[in-house]
Amino acid sequence: MPALPVLVETTRGGIVESVHHGALVAVTGDGHVEWSIGDPALVSFPRSSLKPFQLLPLVARGGVARFGLEPADLAIAAASHSGEEIHVQAVCRLLEKIDAPASALACGTHAPIDEDAAARLEERGEAPSAVHNNCSGKHSGMLALARLLGAPLEGYLDPMHPAQQAIRETLIDVLALDAQDLPMGIDGCSAPAYAVRLDKLALGFALLGNPAQARAGWRAALQTVGDAMRARPELVAGTNGRVDTDLMRKGKGAIVAKGGAEGYFGMGHQAGLGVAFKILDGDAAHRARSAVAVAAAQRLGWIAPDSLAAYGPRLPISNWAGRRTGEVRVTSVLDTAGG
C-alpha cells in the first residue's frame, strides 16, 4: 500500500502528538476525478457506507409498491442507527410491513449506540435485542428483498442467497466494479462486505446525490433512496451527535451522507459530485472521520465555512478536569479542494 498523507493531527502543548493518515477523492457522475488526496484507487471496505446501494435492488424491483414502503422505511434500511426509540419503532414497522418477525434478524445484538437510549433500556430492566443493533434496518431491508424475490428468509445472509446475489449484481452495475475482482469479507453484522476502490464509492455517492448520469435502470431507485435519506436524516444515523445526519440537515436537501466503520465515509451532492474517504488507522476515537467530512463539505462549498464546528475542522481536546490540552485539526492538504 502506498504511503498516504496525514489528513488529521492531534496536538498537546502545541506539539503534534498523533496523526491520522488517509485518502480522499471527489468524483463527478461520469467518473471524472475532480479532487483527490492520496490514492484515489485505494481498495478498502466501505462497510456501512455501502448501505444505500445495498438497498437499491429492493427499490428497483418494485419493493416500494409491493410492501407500501415510505421514506422512513427506506431511511432506516439505509441506516447505521443509534438505537433510539424512533429507530426501534421504524425497524419494527418495516418488519411488520414485510410480515417478518424480529427473530428473523441475523445481525446480532448490542446495546444502543445512543448512551441515553442504552441507559433508559437498562433502567427498564430490558436487555438489548437485535432491533437495537445499528444494522437492524439494513437487515430488515434484506429480508424485504428476500420476500420480494420469493426466497426464504432463513439464510438470507448467505452470499449465494438470491437476495445477496441481487445486491452483489447491483453493486457491480451501479458502481462500475469488476465482477472478477471483488474481494468479499464478513461485516460486523454478519452480512457480506465488499472491498472497492475509493473512487468507485465516490462515483456511487455522486449518483446518489444526483442520478442524472446513472444508467437508466437505476435512476429512479437512486433518486428514491437519496430522497428518503434526505427527508429523514435522523433515521439514517441519530437525533444527536451523528455527523452524517447533521450534514444532511445542514445541507437542506442537497447532501446525502453515510458513514462506515473503520474510518470510512461517503457523501454526495445534488450538483453531481460524490466524495469518499478512508482514515487508514480506523479512527477508533471517532474524531478524524467527522473532522474530515465537515472540512471537505466546507471546502467544496456544500455548507457554510463556520457550519458544524462541533465536529471540526478544529476541535478542542479537554482532559477529565475540563482543562484544554490540545486540539484535533485537519491538515493543510484539505485546503486544496477543487484545486
The 10s digit of each residue's pLDDT in 47-93 is 999 999 999 999 999 999 999 999 999 999 999 999 999 999 999 99
- Enumerate residues 6+ apart whose C-beta is below 8 A from 330: 7, 8, 291, 292, 295, 312, 313, 314
Q: Nearest 5 degrees, angle CA 226-CA 228-CA 234?
A: 110
Q: How many residues does the chain have?
A: 339
Q: How confident is the model at residue 303, as a pLDDT?
A: 95
Q: How confident is the model at residue 337, as a pLDDT?
A: 55
DSSP symbol at 220? H
Q: Which helix (H) or strand (E) holds 53?
A: helix 51-54
Q: Does domain 6-67+154-325 sit in CATH 3.40.710?
A: yes
Contact between 20 and 283 under an 8 Å Cβ cutoff? The reply is yes
Q: How confident is the model at residue 72, as a pLDDT?
A: 98
Query: Residues in the chain with pLDDT < 50?
Result: 339
Cell (9 digits) for 12: 498537546
Domain ranges of the chain: 6-67+154-325
**What angle, 0 to 180 degrees and rounded to 10, lies between the N-to-C axes of helices 162-174 and 136-148?**
100
Q: How confident is the model at residue 338, as a pLDDT?
A: 52
Q: Which helix (H) or strand (E) holds 73?
A: helix 71-77
Q: What is the pTM of this model?
A: 0.95
